[in-house]
Every structure is written in C-alpha cells, then in structure tokens.
Structure 1
C-alpha cells in the first residue's frame, strides 16, 4: 500500500476519536484555568518539553486556558498557550563561570551553583523554590497546577497551602540510575553518577506524599509504585498522545534507500545508542549504502563518539540538532526504517512519532515500548545489537513488510494514542481532583 493510501485512513480514525465523550462533558461545562510546570522543557529532546508542548496545545483546543511556567531550556508552544519564563542559572549551557555577584542575593541560585560545582543536579529543587514564590503571589486564580515531574519539596508546600496540584511522573529516574551504574566502567564514574542522581532522594520522599499522581503507561505505573513505595491504585493512567496532524505521512517525500533514523540522547545509556551503532557497523558489511540519521549529537570525546571512531562508521552517521518539527517530520518520512534502541522508556515518543509518519519501526521491548508499538513494529530484546541487525535486514529486504508495518503503525497512533483523547482524559482527572478538593 502506497503512502498516499496511509493518508486516506486519517478521517475515519479522527472520527473514531471524535466519538469519545469525556466523563466531564455535561457535568462541568466551563473551561479551566490550567498552569503546567516544567523545570526544563527542551523542545526536541528528553520528552518533557514535547509532553508539555502537545498536552498544552490539546488542552487549549479542548477549550481551556493554559499557562506554562518553565525553566530553561524553554519549550516551543502553540500560539494559544502563554509561556511564563522562570529562568535559573542554566549552568549546563552557561557553565559555572557564569555566576555573578548579583546572583548571590538569591539562596536558590547559591544552591543551584554549589550543587553543580559538586557534581549534583539541583534544577528540579531550585525550579520548585522559584515557582512556589511566584505562585504564592500570582497563582491563586488557577483551577489546576500540573507539575511535570519536578517532584520537588516545594510541590508538597503547594499542596499543603491548598493549591489543587496534579503531578505527572513519566517513569522513576531510579531506572536511569540503575542503567547508568551498570554501564559505568570505574568506581569514580559510579561515584559521579550517584552524586548527579542524588536528587532521587528528594523524589523518593516527595512522590508518596503527593495526592494526585498521573503517569503515561501501565509499565510506568508498576515501576513508579515499586520505586517510590506507592500503591498502583493511587496512580492514574493517561497515555501520552501523538499529534497525528503534525506527524503524518508525506506522499511527496521519497524514501531514501537504506536510510536508518533514530532520535536518541546519544550518550545516555538508557537510550541504547551504543547497540544501534554496533548494529550499524554490522549492517554496513551487507548493505554498503546504509546510513544513520541521528537526531542528537554525541559529546566530543564521549563514549559514543569513541565507539563510532573505533567501529569506523563516522561517514555513515549524520547528526542533526536544533531542528524544527517540520524538519523532524520530513526526516521520519525520508527514512526507510526508524530504530528505537532504548533500554528503558516510560512511554517512547520517538516510536509513536515515526509510526504516525508512516515509517516502519524497529523497537526494543524496553519499559513501556511494547504498550506503544504493539504488533505494529518489529520488536527486539534490549541490549541486543544482533537482534537489531536481523530486524533491520528483514525490513530492508522486504518492502511489502515495511509497507504493512507503516500502515499498521499509522492506524495504531490514530486510533489509540492521539492528544485529543489524552486531553479529554486529563480534563476528567482534573475535575475529579477539583471536586475532591471542594468537598
């Protein structure tokens, strides 16, 4: 089936979504004033900025008023969403030398700087301190405050002071810590990794005390309950969505033969880039034209860059960063196969985006990825480069299978994982929180 036929399936799927009637419809008719919080909201990487962008857009389209309060880097937002910037020191971009005497007037700045100096990560805590001060002065008119996984001490203060607070936990960062420690090559590296992840102590204490927690997958619900000592019944499930109007098949775009694509944080062990790059080296022996478009850039001198040089695949990899959403959609459409090599995902937005674009996907079974991809892609075990090689080779050699998976992936995203459905479900949850607070 040609990509033109994939596009024709959109109206029917949209009508199925339009037939979904939210519980709150008819019970609560007025729009909500919603404030979304993001301690950092990178528009292209990490998932949190993507979540804030599309959830806020879908909530506005559902008739609500939405403000986003975010630290740096700031998200890209729909025109109907107001961004309230909550700048910190942004030391990951500005460096420790950016501290100026006037910064010392703020205890929050001192905490952020000294934490970074000693190898820690205090952004969630410091963002919470700043946003608490702001909301005490300017936030009483909001119907809902929705925190995107800062899990900071200040969120408990907001809760105690009567702010109606909802918290999204995408997945427990304990998973990131365990995977990073397993990948470490020395005791010194393990010490640095533990120091950077020391904010998990705060999260372990804060999460069980939060009254209204939502997550994005059933697997995350189980893992969050286990990591933070919570009951699964206390965690609400609202799947992420994929904007299938933005991420869509482009019939006019020609697939580039033997083009692979991946959207990964190249040096994060959690994302599995090393297994993909090892697979690329093996594939090159059988497919001389194979190339990888990597959305993300390895750190100079880092482990990923060293692996690329050792395997001699530099000329086969093109790295792109800071691209527009339009460029990202085109890249998904140009690829013959998109690979998601993650060791763990709380949801797996890149897999959903690629499927929505009508491109065949090879995905690991890490974390919640099986929930997202279902049987509409080729699944492989985590940490298995040879399994990636075999799955990609199967798709390279079988155009009919690629087309079948492309069609199935598009239909799955339209029917199950759309942001309009997510916004309706989230609105219902907001109303439950508000009703409980008003009893």
Structure 2
C-alpha cells in the first residue's frame, strides 16, 4: 500500500475487533529471519496484525526481515558493519551519508555496539517526515534515544528481555580471562545504559513472559503499571506433527543463534559426550552458525565429537520444521531465555522437549514430567540424564510430545499475540488522546 493511500483512506473497513483498522509502524533495528527471536517476532506478528484487518509497515535495518504477504517493508539502512563475511568492516569513503553514519563507525571503532542508537536516530528522522501517516509506532526493542522524541503517533515498545541479563552472563564467563577481555565486554554492552534510561521513560511496554516482566522491572526500572505481558508463540499451522517424516534414531535438535554463554550450547555438547558413552548413536544437529573458535568449538574438539555434531543454517522454513520433526528429542539448553520460541515451536510439532529452567523457559515448556523434562541451567550431567531417559523411552516421548503440542495450541499462538497487542495499541492511542 502506498503512503498516499494510507493517508487518504486510513479508516476504510472494520478490524476484527469491530473497531477501526489501525495504521501501524513496526520498527526493528535488526530483523534476521534465520537466527534470533526479533526477526521471527516481526514476521509473524505483522502477518497476524494484517489478518486482523490492520495496515502494517515494517521499518527496519539490515539484516532485513522476511515478511509474509500483506505487510510492507521500508528499508532504513545502516552501514551494515557486522555483515558476513566481513564483520567489523570499515566502510569505503563513498558509503558515508551523514553524521549518523560517522557516529555508527566511531562507536564500532571504539568497541561499542552502535545499532540501537543509530537506528533510533534514523527512525526519528524518517517518522518526522511522515507525521500523521500512522496511528501507532511499535518499537521492537531498539530502546534508543531517538525514540524519546515526538514520533507523530503514540509509542508502544516490546522488550523481549533486558540485555543487561546477557551482559551479566558474558561478564561472568569472562572471569579469569584477561583484563582487556573484561573491558571489551563492558564496552560492547555500553548501549545498555542508554536502554535503561530510555525504558524508564516509556509510556507503554510489552513483554513476552512474566519472567521477563520481573527482570525488566528490576534491571531497567520500568514502573510496574507501564509493563504488560503478551505471550508470543508458534505458527501452529507450519509447526505441526507429520507422521510421514521419519524419526532419526538418536537425533537431538537445538537452536543456537550464537556461540554465547547465554545459549548454553557448550553444556549440551558436554552432555552429548557423556550420553554417547551409553548411547553411541546419539548425535546433535544445531540450527545456527558454526563458530570456528570459542568454547563450543573447543568442546567439540576436546570430546572428539566432530562427527556427532552438525550445524545447519540458511534452510527454508519447511526444511527446518522437517528437521525438528525428524528428531527424537528437541533441547533448549539456555542459561536464560526471555520466552524461548524454539521451545514453543518444537512442542508444536509434537517433538518431546528437554529444557532448562532458565528465565521464562518453564513458563513456556510447562511442568517437568508433564509437558517436558526440565533440568537446571548449566548442568551437563542433568542434561545427559534427561536426554538419555527420553531417547530410551518411546512411550514417554509420545506422551510428552502430545502434551507439549496441546499446551502450545491452548496458550502460545501468534493470532492470540496479535489480538493482545492490538488491545494495547488502542489503550496507548486512548491515553494519548486524553493528554492532548
């Protein structure tokens, strides 16, 4: 839909809730559709908002999100300093467009992560030039200073979880390493100071779990009455059981978008080494990029698991779903998750789940022994025992798989997430109207 059409006919039709359709600007500073939860969130939420009758324009930077039919994408490009295969690159002279680009490069050169700030500044400028075109602006965890300006419409912000949690875990993992390494971690997470200041001034914050809500209140200082839980979920049409997909004996599947302590992949590799002493056909497929160095690569080499751990990336949605369906067990070994889409998606396929109790994972995966097998985060022995128990008990796998899908269908769908989000859009618009 063109900008002219949005301006001249903003209230045509009726939305699914019986009220007028909304014109929504959905901001995402990073929308990678193949790893990380933010790109998944933008894709599925925008699709369901359109199905409810609303107009959704996603405004994003690289890597750009993949969108389903109905939502439109407006590219607001950064300098893409972290792209593969040349991350931390220095742009050529002709690439610089303005002072925001200089700020982006200068922050990277000094070891910081600039994208939340620089995207927010570009978004502020973009929205100022389009004042009156949107009923609501929805920010997907940018939390940059630029979004504190008048954006021409009420602002609603989603915080999946506070990045201060990642900072704590990365600093803990850096203990015993060089002083330079610890200073580097602190500098990289320097943007979290900005996010804390911005979050405290936001009028309406959405988050994806009760666990994240408590973390945001404690870590970011957001007032309790300004933060609301809207659970996200799985695309249960796509993520569904299919008996035609053959189960591969010993296969364990996990999703790990990065080799960082938060994801706990190194503990799963250690658990696999223990497990294979009793079940030698056990093997792991990791949906994510293989790191050539780091704790996971070292553990794979130390335990001689080169032939037992495979990494896959860039596969289609259908291929990913079939991969999960083919596993005897799905595993979420994270030390912390603000929600855990991989848990919900695996459960939706009927694949039995082993998951830690880190962060919001129990809120998604459900009670130990009823819908999953739960273990403490960071405990390789407990992971190995739970994985071995499931691999060796077909009846238990069938029971947990069926119960897991039922739990997702009843609690965690994107359609329900979209309806809950629209309710908060309308509340934000009503508040803004009262304060004018």
Name the residue aligned to 2:366: 374
2:38 is the counterpart of 1:48: yes
For the structure 1 residues 421 and 95, does the alpha-carbon distance in structure 2 shift closer, same or farther, using more than 3 Å as the test? Answer: closer
TM-score computed with the length of structure 2 as normaliser: 0.92
Partner secondary structure for residue 387 of structure 1: helix
Name the residue aligned to 2:217: 225
2:132 is the counterpart of 1:140: yes
CA deviations over 1:227-251 (Å, ceiling 9, x no partner): 0122222201101121101111112
2:401 is the counterpart of 1:406: yes
- Alpha-carbon separation, structure 2, partners of 1:112 and 1:418: 37
- Alpha-carbon separation, structure 2, partners of 1:62 and 1:36: 15
Structure 1: state its 5+ residue gaps. Answer: 1-23
C-alpha displacement at 1:201, in angstroms?
0.8
In the alignment, is the contact (CA less than 8 A) between 2:246 and 2:326 conserved in 1?
yes
Q: 1:83 aligns with which of 65, 73, 77?
A: 73
Name the residue aligned to 1:73: 63
Q: 2:21 aligns with which of 28, 31, 40?
A: 31
CA deviations over 1:89-141 (Å, ceiling 9, x no partner): 11111445441223344111111111111211000111111111111112521
In the alignment, is the contact (CA less than 8 A) between 2:132 and 2:152 conserved in 1?
no
2:115 is the counterpart of 1:118: no
C-alpha displacement at 1:438, in angstroms?
1.1
In the alignment, is the contact (CA less than 8 A) between 1:217 and 1:239 conserved in 2?
yes
How is 1:5-404 mapped onto 2 (pairs within 5 angstroms)?
29-93=19-83, 94-158=86-150, 161-184=151-174, 185-375=177-367, 376-404=371-399
In the alignment, is the contact (CA less than 8 A) between 1:266 and 1:304 conserved in 2?
no
In the alignment, is the contact (CA less than 8 A) between 2:48 and 2:414 conserved in 1?
yes
CA deviations over 1:10-59 (Å, ceiling 9, x no partner): xxxxxxxxxxxxxx989852211111100001102110000111110111
In the alignment, is the contact (CA less than 8 A) between 2:258 and 2:289 conserved in 1?
yes
C-alpha displacement at 1:69, in angstroms?
0.7
CA deviations over 1:370-395 (Å, ceiling 9, x no partner): 11011211110001000001101110
- Alpha-carbon separation, structure 2, partners of 1:266 and 1:102: 32
Name the residue aligned to 1:429: 424
CA deviations over 1:300-323 (Å, ceiling 9, x no partner): 222221221111101101100111
Between Structure 1 and Structure 2, which shows a larger proportion of helix residues? Answer: 1
Deviation larger for 352-361 or 224-233 = 224-233
- Alpha-carbon separation, structure 2, partners of 1:101 and 1:29: 50
For the structure 1 residues 25 and 97, does the alpha-carbon distance in structure 2 shift closer, same or farther, using more than 3 Å as the test? Answer: closer
- Alpha-carbon separation, structure 1, partners of 2:298 and 2:341: 27
- Alpha-carbon separation, structure 2, partners of 1:205 and 1:96: 27
Q: Which has the higher contact order (CA 8 A, sep 6+)?
A: 1
Name the residue aligned to 1:6: none
For the structure 1 residues 387 and 81, does the alpha-carbon distance in structure 2 shift closer, same or farther, using more than 3 Å as the test? Answer: same
Structure 2: state its 5+ residue gaps. Answer: 1-13
- Alpha-carbon separation, structure 2, partners of 1:388 and 1:330: 24
- Alpha-carbon separation, structure 1, partners of 2:284 and 2:56: 38
- Alpha-carbon separation, structure 1, partners of 2:329 and 2:169: 26
- Alpha-carbon separation, structure 2, partners of 1:96 and 1:342: 27
TM-score computed with the length of structure 1 as normaliser: 0.92
C-alpha displacement at 1:284, in angstroms?
1.0
Name the residue aligned to 2:3: none
- Alpha-carbon separation, structure 2, partners of 1:387 and 1:132: 48
In the alignment, is the contact (CA less than 8 A) between 1:120 and 1:197 conserved in 2?
yes
CA deviations over 1:180-214 (Å, ceiling 9, x no partner): 11111332221111111000010111000011111
In the alignment, is the contact (CA less than 8 A) between 2:61 and 2:119 conserved in 1?
yes
For the structure 1 residues 186 and 298, does the alpha-carbon distance in structure 2 shift closer, same or farther, using more than 3 Å as the test? Answer: farther
